[in-house]
Amino acid sequence: MKALWLLLGGAAAIIGFFLLMLLIGCNPSKKAQRELEKAKAVLSGNIVEAARFCRDKFPDKTEYVKGDSVVIFDTLYVGEVVFDTLETKDTVYITKNLPGKVITKTVRITDTIKIEDRAKLIAINADLNDKIGEVAVLKNDVSELKKNVAEWKEKAKKRWWLWVVIVALIGWNFRKTIFKLIGGK
C-alpha cells in the first residue's frame, strides 16, 4: 500500500513538473504584447538609443550613379580695343591693340547619390503586405456575395412563377364572382 502511494506521489510530481515547464515555457500573445509595449516605452524615452538601434539594424543603402559631364567654354575680353593711326608722307599705319583675352573652361559633372532608408522601406513593405491580405479577403467576400446574388435571382424567378400560380388559383376560385361583375351569366 505504501509503495502504491509512493508511486502515485512520484507520478504526480512528474506531471506537476511537466505542467510547470509548460506554463513557464509558454509565451502567450498578451505577454508578448506587454513586452512590446515595454520596449516601445523604453525606446520612446531614449530616442537617441532608438535611432542607433534602427541605424544598426536597418542601415541605409547608398548608391552612386555616374552622370554626364558637360564642358562649357566661356571667352571674356578684358580692356578695350585701341586704334592708333600714324601717317607718314605716303603711308598710313593703322595699329590695332586688342584687349586681353581670358578663356574659361568649365567642366560640369552631374553625379547622383541615392540614399535609401531601409527601415522605412521595410515598414512600407509590411503595410503593403497587410493591404494585399485585406484585398484578398475582400475579393473572397465579393465572390461570396456574387454567388448569393445569383442564388437570390434564381429564387426570385421561382417565386415569380409561384405568384402567377397563386393569382391563377385565386382567379379560378372567384371566376363566378368575376363573371357576374363583368356582366356575364
Give strand ranges (E) for the chain: 61-65, 69-78, 82-87, 92-97, 100-109, 112-116
Question: Which stretch of DSSP H or E encloses residue 42?
Answer: helix 29-45
pTM for the model stands at 0.34
| Total domains in the fold of the chain | 3
* 63 lies in some domain: no
Task: Output the pLDDT for position 107.
Answer: 82
Query: Are 97 and 155 in the same domain?
Result: no
Task: Output the pLDDT for position 163.
Answer: 81
- Please give the residue range of the domain that contains residue 134: 116-185
Query: Are 7 and 52 in the same domain?
Result: yes
* 62 lies in some domain: no
Model confidence pLDDT, tens digit, residues 23-54: 666 666 777 778 878 877 877 777 777 777 77
Task: Output the pLDDT for position 139.
Answer: 94
Distance, in Å, from the CA atom of 80 to the CA atom of 64, rounded to the nearest integer, reads 47
Torsion region of 183: left, alpha or beta (phi above 0 gives left; psi -120 to 50 gives alpha): left
